[in-house]
Amino acid sequence: MGLPLSPDSIHLDATTRGVPLVEGIAAEAVGARKWSPASGDLGLPALTVDEAAFVHNRDLFLRYCASVNALVAPHAKTPMSPELSASLRQAGAWGASVAGIQQAAVLLASGERRLILANEIGGLAAGRRLGALLATYPDAEIHVFADSPAAVAAYAEAARVGKCTALSVLVEVGAGRAGARDAGAVDAVIAAVLAADGLVLGGVATYEGAAAVADPDATTRAIAALMTCTADAFARVRMAAPGRHLIVTAGGSLHFDRVVAALGPLVERDGNAVLILRSGAIFFSDHGIYAKGFAAMDARGGFVVDGAPVSAHKGFRPALTLWAEVLSRPQPDLAICGFGMRDVSFDQGLPVVLRVYRDGIEQAGLADGLAVARLNDQHAFLTVPAASRLAVGDILAFGISHPCTCFDRWRVVFGLGGDGTVTRALTTHFG
């Protein structure tokens, strides 16, 4: 049983942004067209993934994980692309992480069978929905987060509906977002799991990114405190489940080095546990929040591969590019481009101009001095040097900030090869 998620089951036409053909095309035939976004072959705006950068980032991070004895379940919420999730697993990822029942359904339907549901799901109605999914995919290995007895009750209902005898519950410890805040709350979750039918204690979970604040020093202290609480929760779970193989999971894309430093030794000392990171955006990087975060990681010497320091800022390559056309140059210091808030992330910074093309040829130096000043629904307002040669019809390549809130604006993202032409159409499934 499954959903029609494979590319050969999807027909694309001009009702999908980026697709230039009114009559349409089968998704698997897109690569043969050799469309060039720089030449205007796509329906602009369009979003592309640099295939080589994605593979480079994937291989670099998997090599890092192997060198620190950690596994990774990449967070699928970033691209929600079954193809990309499958490629990460095939390259060596342990499984995948999801943020909700719908995302779990997408990945299970596409063939994934090992998931971390990295969020509480809600109450009993949500438990019944999860139970229906468990019943549909009885061969799936799913680990869920709980930070209260009420959350445990929802999972017990899921286990009942799904006829599951050993649904793995990870006790979530938190700061700034969900998660048990103290030892009493942790003990309450443990007791609820032990008392429930169909559930087992699977380990502990946290997310250090939710503890981060604007001040770097305060962030360091907050994450360190969270790691201490997580280690204490692990000790309590271990006491309640002395012989079970346990999971310890944390790690986004900006502070995973701190997670490894704090929890790696704990897992090693235990001898019957595994550390699983959930980084997702790291495989795409960006020109904004992650570029800055990797520079901060370099400053603290956090990214160490095979025992040697490596520059995260230089190592991880931005993979996403937004392509758009100049629609108007109404005054000397202003240009209007054909994209807006519906097309690109802006919650962690505005896009940056990377390159300018005219008739498919890059215009050297023409991107200098161009900057996105603001966005509305369909338009980007660029400040332009008054003497700039930028013209209506020029095509601009933009770097983005925050891949997670850029992907979700697109039903189709195009893979881009080293020759600048489209390799494939990647469908996304955000619901």
Residues 38-92 pLDDT 10s? 999 999 999 999 999 999 999 999 999 999 999 999 999 999 999 999 999 999 9
Query: Helix, strand or coil for residue 216?
Result: helix
Closest alpha carbon to 101 in 81, 86, 113, 119: 119
Please identify which residue in the block is written with the tokens 């990822």. 93
Q: Which two tokens stand for residue 215?
A: 């001040």
According to the model, what pLDDT value does residue 417 have?
Answer: 98
DSSP state at residue 176: S
Q: Mean pLDDT score of the chain, rounded to an integer?
A: 96
Is the predicted pLDDT of residue 6 greater than 90, yes or no? no
CA distance readout (Å), 58 to 64, 103, 196, 203, 304: 10, 21, 39, 26, 16
DSSP state at residue 173: B
CB 114 within 8 A of CB 143: no
CB 111 within 8 A of CB 83: no
- 9 pLDDT band (50/70/90 cuts)? confident
For 346-368, the pLDDT digits (tens) are 999 999 999 999 999 999 999 99
Is the predicted pLDDT of residue 25 greater than 50, yes or no? yes
For 143-160, the pLDDT digits (tens) are 999 999 999 999 999 999
Q: Which amino acid is at 419?
A: D
Question: φ, ψ for residue 418 (rounded to 5)?
Answer: -65, -20
Is the predicted pLDDT of residue 161 greater than 80, yes or no? yes
CB 327 within 8 A of CB 337: yes
Is the predicted pLDDT of residue 297 greater than 60, yes or no? yes
pTM: 0.95
Q: Which two tokens stand for residue 170?
A: 């990870």
CA distance readout (Å), 352 to 233, 321, 330, 383, 430: 43, 10, 21, 12, 25
CA distance readout (Å), 120 to 139, 142, 236, 271: 22, 13, 20, 28
Is the predicted pLDDT of residue 273 greater than 80, yes or no? yes
- 384 pLDDT band (50/70/90 cuts)? very high
DSSP state at residue 277: E
Closest alpha carbon to 99 in 240, 229, 252: 252
- 2 pLDDT band (50/70/90 cuts)? very low
CB 41 within 8 A of CB 276: no
Distance of CA 405 to the CA centre of its chain: 9
Q: Which two tokens stand for residue 336?
A: 């209007």
Query: Helix, strand or coil for residue 80?
Result: coil
According to the model, what pLDDT value does residue 8 have?
Answer: 54
